Amino acid sequence: MVSGTAFSVVAGLFGALASSSAKLAVGADYVTHGCKVFVELWLANPHLIAQAAVCSWLPVLLRLGCGGMVITFNAVMWTFFAKALRYSASSARATVTSAASNYISSAILGKALFGESHALLWWVGISLILCGLLLLHTATSRADLGDTERKEK
């Protein structure tokens, strides 16, 4: 059976995919540049009038497609997050795990898709979040401690 942690990690990944899709849908530079690269790769002569025709309607289709992906990825993210809440020992554990997964996935997607880089302070912050997540996952709950104390008596 899959644990709540796995559902939380997948929810964070889909949240990052949704925000990356939103950035692609709204950011004009990425779509226009992608159209020009597409035309240069697939057309034999990129200086033809066809480039202007393709690049006038293709960005609109790409933006609509990315908008659809935002909705889809968000729906899938909420589905996995609801399952994570159901199968986790606590809602805090599911929430923090999902957030950490989202931050890490966003950093990877930002670097891969947009060439972004993060400052040292960002990496220090994510390291602190991961340390807190480690503590959260390795700490025993109060209910477990209460059961242990009752058994000792």
pLDDT in tens, 91-118: 888 998 999 999 999 999 998 988 888 8
pLDDT value at position 26?
A: 86
Q: What is the number of helices (H) and of strands (E) in the chain?
A: 6, 0
pLDDT value at position 115?
A: 86
pLDDT value at position 14?
A: 98
Find the distance separating the first CA and the last CA of the chain, reported in whole Å. 34
Of the candidates 96, 137, 115, 135, the one whose C-alpha atom is nearest the C-alpha of residue 9 is 96
Mean pLDDT of 123-142: 83
Mean pLDDT of 62-80: 94
Identify which of 37-41, 49-53, 81-85 has the greatest average pLDDT: 81-85
Q: Which domain holds residue 45?
A: 4-152
pLDDT value at position 43?
A: 63
Q: How many domains does the chain have?
A: 1
User: Using CA of residue 39, residue 43, residue 49, residue 54, what is the dihedral sign?
Assistant: negative
pLDDT value at position 138?
A: 82
| pTM of the entire predicted model | 0.75
Question: On the CB side of 136, how many CA atoms lie within 13 Å of its CA?
Answer: 19
Which one-letter DSSP state was computed for residue 140?
A: P
Which one is predicted more confidently, 19 or 50? 19
